[in-house]
Amino acid sequence: MKNKFLTQNILLLAALLLATSCKKDFLELKPKGTELETNFYQTQDQIFQGLVATYDVLGWEGTDGWNMVLGLFNAASDDCYAGGSDASDQPNWVAWDNFTLNPLLGPQMGLWRKYYSGVYRANLILQKIEAVENLDPAFKARTIAELKFLRGYFYFDLARLFGNVPVFTKPISLDEIAGVKQASPAAVFTQIEKDLTEAKNTPELPETVPPAELGRVTHGAVAALLGKVILFQNDNGRMLEAAANFEEVINGGNYFLTPNYGDIFKQENEFGPESVFEIQYASNRPGDYNCCFNSGPVNNATEGNYNIQFFGMRDYSGPIYSPGWSFCPVTPELVTFMQGDPRFQHTIIDGKALKQGGASYTIGYQNTDYFIKKYAPIAENQATDGETALAWGQNIRAIRYADVLLMAAEAIVRGGGSEATAREYLNQVRARVALQPESSTGQALLAAIYKERRLELATEGQRFWDLVRTGGASALPGFTAGTHEHLPIPQQEIELSQGALQQNPGY
């Protein structure tokens, strides 16, 4: 198949692979010119640049429109609505929110292109690194482990989003693309687990990193993601295997709960004690709106976190916050669910209370007067250059230690392990916010863990996938079991494949 984005990636110049300039730690990089990919990647420094370019894809949010996974995952769940100015503002978001997706309507094209771009970059550097002479052995081993983690990360989201996807473990030529078929979900997960297991078993992959390397993968990040991948597959016979991976993180002594829950998402607390893995953003790369509306080669023109702008109150005037675009208003269901929980004040902005204090904002689509606080546009964090709406620098806490504790507790209960240990992990999360310890057993304990997950991780993009893997998504308005667990395969890709790609059921 002449897959559009794959073809484009094969033809990318090294300059496109290397065009990243994050301010944050090891991701700071200056483009090195326009050497062709075939003539580049001949030194250790050039291989490292390719690794950085692969990390960069994690933060892409502007492929074929606004395709920020944090916002989209929230909108698909019962934590938030799609929102925006009106129903026509971002129809792809509304379609996933309402489950009115079809092969031409939805965020699938941008997400497909993003993650396969990441896969391509990882595969390219994994191939190139084998041909470079005189590499430091420790550098080589660590780099390969990081690339395999990244490839596993990209494929995990592809598997969750689409189910049946092609699997590539090396760069492929235009001739090879034509015959590519989708792999079964089981085969995709087998490849993900293989990559993550090999990465985790690499001694050169560090347990911690120095300040200059914050954001790079650690052993704990790999173990946590591997456990999550196993947990997501819902095989109770493997739950203790998932738990063992989580307990590597728990017993490693490198992470602990931030004492004050409200401090977790402050920008000054990035890479805090419970941050197992963060996706990095920066405010020092001015860009423009070409980031999101191109139909040609991938062009993420800034390094900012667009979610922040989307989640803010439209035309807001008042203290603390900057104006935003009123996407992902919090549902009344979540507001009611969290009433009385100490985390409410750190999770949800009460717009009515702000207005009573003299603030104002324009009412947007699906307005509830409640907004996301964890990733709100805080005025003092606003960039001072370029399109400030596109230059928010807050990192996304992709894997938190609290999430690891709760996943471990769930896996132990479902696997028939020690309920006392599961309660211990659950109660660590509860104790942090001064809640009474849980003493239940059996299914009541499992229900308590699921409840705690929603309270602890609300609006962090976890809820939809928790509902999908536990069977609870069927209660979402418009959701059809057997169809809406996955997005449709992009129609453009099916047409370009000339029949090689098959559409997902129900679309």
* Tokens 């029949």 -> residue: 499
Give me the chain's average pLDDT, please. 90
Q: Kindly state the DSSP code that residue 268 receives in the 8-state scheme.
A: G
72 in a structural domain: no
474 in a structural domain: no
170-191 average pLDDT score: 86
Instruction: Report how far Cα 31 is from the mean position of its chain's Cα atoms.
Output: 26
Q: Is the pLDDT of residue 309 over 90?
A: yes
Please check whether residues 41 and 129 belong to one and the same domain. Answer: yes
Please check whether residues 212 and 320 belong to one and the same domain. Answer: no
Domain count, the chain: 3
The residue range of the domain holding 445 is 237-279+397-459
Percent of the chain with pLDDT over 70: 89
Please check whether residues 62 and 155 belong to one and the same domain. Answer: yes
Please check whether residues 361 and 490 belong to one and the same domain. Answer: no
- Among residues 360, 394, 428, which one ends one of the domains? 394
Please check whether residues 390 and 405 belong to one and the same domain. Answer: no
227 in a structural domain: no
Sequence-ordered alpha helix ranges (H) in 201-343: 219-232, 239-251, 306-311, 332-338
Please check whether residues 329 and 340 belong to one and the same domain. Answer: yes
The answer to whether 505 and 481 are in contact (CB under 8 A) is no
129-136 average pLDDT score: 95
Please check whether residues 39 and 167 belong to one and the same domain. Answer: yes
Both tokens of residue 458? Answer: 């609300």
230 in a structural domain: no
With residue 98 as reference, give the H or E element that holds it: helix 91-98
| pLDDT at res. 383 | 87
Judged by DSSP in three states, 181 sits in coil
Q: Is the pLDDT of residue 290 over 60?
A: yes
352 in a structural domain: yes
Please check whether residues 97 and 118 belong to one and the same domain. Answer: no
Please check whether residues 142 and 244 belong to one and the same domain. Answer: no
Please check whether residues 124 and 258 belong to one and the same domain. Answer: no
Residue 43 identity: T
Please check whether residues 128 and 254 belong to one and the same domain. Answer: no
Please check whether residues 26 and 90 belong to one and the same domain. Answer: no
* Strand bridging mode 396-400 / 370-372: unpaired
168-181 average pLDDT score: 79
Tell me phi and psi for residue 280, to 5 degrees.
Answer: -90, 145
475 in a structural domain: no
Q: 255: how many CB neighbours lie within 10 A of its CB?
A: 22
- Among residues 367, 394, 421, which one ends one of the domains? 394
262 in a structural domain: yes
Tell me the pTM: 0.93
pLDDT digits (tens, 9 = 90+) for 3-62: 322 223 333 333 334 333 333 434 333 334 445 667 899 999 999 999 999 999 999 998
- Beta-carbon contacts of residue 336 (< 8 Å; ≥ 6 apart): none
State the CATH number of the domain containing residue 160. 1.25.40.890
Q: Is the pLDDT of residue 105 over 80?
A: yes
First-to-last C-alpha distance (Å) of the chain = 21
- Beta-carbon contacts of residue 29 (< 8 Å; ≥ 6 apart): 18, 20, 21, 22, 49, 52
3-state helix, strand, coil in the chain (%, to 5): 50, 5, 45
317 in a structural domain: yes
